[in-house]
Every structure is written in structure tokens, then in C-alpha cells.
Amino acid sequence: MYKIAVAGTGYVGLVAGVCFAEIGHQVTCVDIDEQKVDLMKSGVSPIFETGLEELMQTNYAAGRITYTTDFKAAYQEADAIFIGVGTPEQPDGSANLSYIATVARQIAESVENDCLVVVKSTVPVGTNDKVEQFIQDFLVKDVKVEVASNPEFLAQGSAVHNTLHAERIIIGTESKWSEELLTKIYAPFHLPIVSVNRRSAEMIKYASNDFLALKISYMNDIANLCELVGADIQDVAKGMSYDERIGSKFLNAGIGFGGSCFPKDTKALEYIAKQNGYELKTVKAAIDVNKEQKTMLYKKASKRLITLNGLKVAVLGLTFKPGTDDLREAASLENIPLLLEQGADIYAYDPVGAESFAKVHPEGKQGKGSITYVSHIEHALEEANVCFVFTEWGDVKAVTPETFKKLMRTPLVFDGRNMYRVEDMQEAGVEYHSIGRKPASRVSVKESNNYELQNY
Ligand code: UDX
């Protein structure tokens, strides 16, 4: 078993640290935020992630994991230091590497033993060559420090499961010593290891994420065409999925991809290509389609409703996907300002994301409209004139067509996640618009009494 330090306790760093402890390594997680460190010591996870808190608590109690702001103590005797700090997107699409540089400098000034620095953060191809050189340049003690690339493929909400049961571990190294050490660290996971050089490992991360983003944008593009030609995207996806070369995952059309990875990594790879004098047309297309798709529901609603001014608008789901409280690049963040601009009175429900959303859009009057956060779906739907579904939470999915019909003033639903069967909505008399499928029913203008609908 090895002494492992982890720099950064975000999704990547904390989950990696906890899982390394779980398989028996001795782990110290480092963060600059003292409050966060205290919180983690008390067994509370700073992020919402299924199963994480339990593992934090059991491994802390067993003495296999600890948390500190004292990076020197954590790094000086570590066999391996994993870097999991953020590489946020800059305005030009490139990745901001300043957090990595700070950690690299701290490592150079702290290590007292030979050690392997393992970069888990997503970084542009070639960055880890520079990180290694940078550490060598600032190294205080005469010890061996090498850098390996070990990209992370965890999805939020299932990060612990994804780490413990990863489909593959990618290790990118430039020496036998690094390769063997990293292989031994991962051995207790009993997972397939793909060992390549450092630059290929860095590229595998971008190429994988951008391929998935492309898959989603492709399905969204096809979904929009399905609407025009009278095909059903879910049936189309089902038919495609039987082809093993295509696969059955990531074929769900909707209101585009959000989150901390796909939007950032598509732009970053496009930027890397540009820097190298190459235009990455496929990735650019994925970005362009996604931008359009994010406001697809709003565009549909604007065609159907003459105005949203003064209407009660139910919003179900705010996070970029279910199982997380993360709002980064969520479709709700693009659509809600548009609804408020129109003067909508929004009643928003999200089982975990409402608090963070309220920091961006505080409850109360906002411009011409207003926003109220409710803790029950029914309170959002009661007497609502229209409902938007942005996230496929389980309890949102469980709302029956009859409930929409019974509770809403006008049963008019715009669903960005294709959660309900068109036929069921039709049968219940709910006017239902989704993505890549035919609409269901039509609410009559008479029924809608205090506002107008237009033909669409
Ligand atoms: C993703 C990758 O899955 C993971 O491997 C990588 O390490 C980080 O980025 P994450 O962002 O957590 O993980 O979520 P994911 O489940 O992949 O969904 C990303 C976005 O794509 C969400 O907004 C989701 O709603 C959307 N999506 C996903 C679709 O619109 N359709 C699909 O079929 C799948």
C-alpha cells in the first residue's frame, strides 16, 4: 500500500482520494479552504455525490484518509501526488492552468522523497511535459520526480461507482518506473489498465468526452429533423442502438449537454486544434448544435404562446442532469432569464439544486417577472399556465399525465427530456411538446381563458 497525497478536493480529487483509501492506500487530501477541510474531517462531503459521505466516514474512522491545508506535510513523504484541481475555461476557450501551476510549485518546494506526480485534471495535450519540467526547475531537494497523466472519466452523480468500477484506467507515462508504480497503485481495483505515453493519455480524455458530446449533438440534430419529417427520435434511437457499432448509450435527445466537462472540453479541443493550425469541424458542429438546442424549448413555447407575461410558469428541474446539485452549463440557466424577460412568474422545483440556483436568481421579483422556489412538484404545477421540464429527476418522471391535467390551469407541458409517453399525454388531454417527437393534444384557447395561444 502507498502513501498518496491528493491536491484539490473537488469531484475529481475527493472521489479519487476516498476511493484510494477504500482500496487500502494511506491518503491525505489537500485543499486551501480551511472550512472545507474541517467539514470533510467531520464526515460531511462538500459535494453531493451518491455514496461518497459513507466512504468518507468509514475510511476516516479507519485512519486511511485525512484532510489538511498543510500541503508541505502532505507532499513531503508521499509516494505519489495526484493533482485533481480545476482547469476552468477561459474566455477564448482555452484551459486555465494556473491552479495546476500553483500545485506544481508547492510540490517542487515540498517533496523530500522520490515521487510520482499524477495529473488527473483535464489538461491540453503536452501540458504534463511542461508540468514535469516546471517541477524539475523549482525542485529544492535532490530527489526523482516524474509526471504521469491519468485522466478521469467519472460522471457526476455516479462518481464513486464510476471510480470503483471504471471501464478502464488510462495511464500515460514516459518511463518504466512511472508506469510500474502507477500500475501497482491501481492494481487493487482489478480494472483494465491501458498504458500509453503521456500525450496520448491527455488526448484520450478529450477525444472520449468530445466523442460523447458529438453523439448527443448528433442525436439532437436528428431529433429536430424528426419533428419536421414526422419521425420519432426515441424510436429512431432504439432502432440505431441494436447496432453494436453505435451502442445504446448517449443516444438521448434533449435540450443539450451541460455540466463541467462536455461544454468545456469541446471548446478546449477546438482551441487546441486552432493553436495547431487545424480546424476540428466535427467538434465545432457539436458545440454549435448544442448552443441552439439549449433554448429549443423556449423557442417552441414562444411559437405557441403569444406572451408569457403574467403567466404562472412551472419549472421542473434546474440542475444540468439528475443526481447532482451542479448547475454548470445547465439549460435552466439559459432559459430562465428568457422566461423572466418575458414577464413570467416562475415556480421552480428541484430536489437538490434550488438553493444554488437561488444564489444566481434570488427569490422574488426579477425584472418583469418573478421566481419562487417550491419544495413540492404539486406547488409548482397548481394553477400553472405552462410547465417546462429541464431535468429528468425521478420524482419529476413520476408525475402522471393526469396530475398535469388536474393541477394545471392549462395543461401545457414543454419537456426537454422526453420523459413522458406522447400517447399517455394525448389520452390525458395534456398539450405536450417534447424533443424530436410529435406534439400531443391541443389545449383550446377557450380553455386557457386568460391568455392566448397561437397556431404552431
Ligand atoms: C461527463 C462524462 O460522462 C464523464 O465521462 C466525464 O469524465 C465528465 O463528463 P457528466 O458531465 O458528469 O460526465 O455527465 P453525463 O452524464 O455524461 O451528462 C452530460 C450532459 O449530457 C448532461 O447535461 C446530460 O443531460 C447530457 N446527455 C447525456 C444528453 O443530453 N443525452 C444523453 O444521451 C446523455
Same domain assignment for residues 255 and 307: no
pLDDT tens figures, 286-343: 999 999 999 999 999 999 998 899 999 999 999 999 988 899 999 999 999 999 999 9
Distance between CA atoms of residues 290 and 284, nearest Å = 10
The atom number, within ligand 1, closest to the CA of 329 reads 23
Within 6 A (CB) of ligand 1 lie: 152-156, 209, 212, 216, 250-252, 254, 257-259, 261-262, 320-321
Same domain assignment for residues 218 and 150: no
Q: Which of 29, 115, 226, 261 is catalytic?
A: 261
pLDDT at 293: 98
Which residue has the CA at smallest separation from atom 6 of ligand 1? 153
Which residue has the CA at smallest separation from atom 22 of ligand 1? 257
Of 169, 196, 223, the residue that ends a domain is 196
What ipTM was assigned to the predicted interfaces of this complex? 0.97
pLDDT higher than 80, residue 456? no
Q: Decide if 148 contacts 116 (C-beta within 8 A).
A: yes
The atom number, within ligand 1, closest to the CA of 250 reads 33
The atom number, within ligand 1, closest to the CA of 326 reads 12
pLDDT higher than 60, residue 452? no
- Report the candidate in 23, 424, 345, 384 with the shortest Cα–Cα distance to residue 185: 23
Give the max Cα distance, the chain.
82
- Does residue 299 lie in a domain region? yes
The atom number, within ligand 1, closest to the CA of 220 reads 30
Same domain assignment for residues 395 and 305: yes
Cα(213) to ligand 1 centroid in Å equals 8
Same domain assignment for residues 327 and 412: yes
- How many domains does the chain contain in total? 3
> Is position 191 annotated in a ligand binding site?
no
- Does residue 453 lie in a domain region? no
For residue 308, what is its C-alpha cell?
408569457
pLDDT confidence of 230, banded at 50, 70, 90? very high
The percentage of residues in the chain with a pLDDT greater than 70, rounded to a whole number, is 97
- Between 95 and 149, residue with greater pLDDT: 149
Mean pLDDT (whole number) for 380-408: 97
Q: Give the CATH number, domain containing residue 245.
A: 1.10.1040.10
- Report the candidate in 313, 310, 290, 318 with the shortest Cα–Cα distance to residue 301: 313
Of 293, 318, 345, the residue that ends a domain is 293
pLDDT tens figures, 114-138: 999 999 998 999 999 999 999 999 9
pLDDT higher than 50, residue 447? no
- Does residue 419 lie in a domain region? yes
For residue 89, what is its C-alpha cell?
475555461
> Is position 122 annotated in a ligand binding site?
yes
Cα(356) to ligand 1 centroid in Å equals 20
Distance between CA atoms of residues 178 and 375, nearest Å = 51
Which residue has the CA at smallest separation from atom 24 of ligand 1? 257
> Is position 205 annotated in a ligand binding site?
yes
pLDDT at 453: 58
Same domain assignment for residues 102 and 42: yes
Name every residue whose Cβ is closer than 8 Å to that of residue 444 and which is 6 or more positions away in sequence. none
Rounded to two decimals, what is the model's pTM?
0.92
Same domain assignment for residues 102 and 31: yes
The residue assigned the cell 448517449 is 250
Same domain assignment for residues 312 and 279: no
Question: Catalytic: 261?
Answer: yes
Same domain assignment for residues 52 and 74: yes
Cα(451) to ligand 1 centroid in Å equals 37
Same domain assignment for residues 130 and 7: yes
> Is position 73 annotated in a ligand binding site?
no
CA angle 405-315-210, nearest 5°? Answer: 120
Can you give 257-296 as a three-state secondary structure string? CCCCCHHHHHHHHHHHHHHCCCCCHHHHHHHHHHHHHHCH
Q: Which domain holds residue 337?
A: 295-448
User: Could you give the strand order of the β-sheet that contains 386-389, starting from the edge strand earlier in sequence?
Assistant: 364-366, 369-373, 345-349, 312-316, 386-389, 412-415, 431-433
pLDDT tens figures, 73-116: 999 999 999 999 988 888 887 888 899 999 999 999 999 999 99
Q: Give the CATH number, domain containing residue 404.
A: 3.40.50.720
> Is position 412 annotated in a ligand binding site?
no
The residue assigned the cell 417527437 is 437
Q: How many CB atoms lie within 10 A of CB 142?
A: 5
Cα(117) to ligand 1 centroid in Å equals 28
pLDDT at 197: 98
Of 293, 325, 351, the residue that ends a domain is 293
For 315, list phi and psi in degrees, rounded to 5. -120, 120
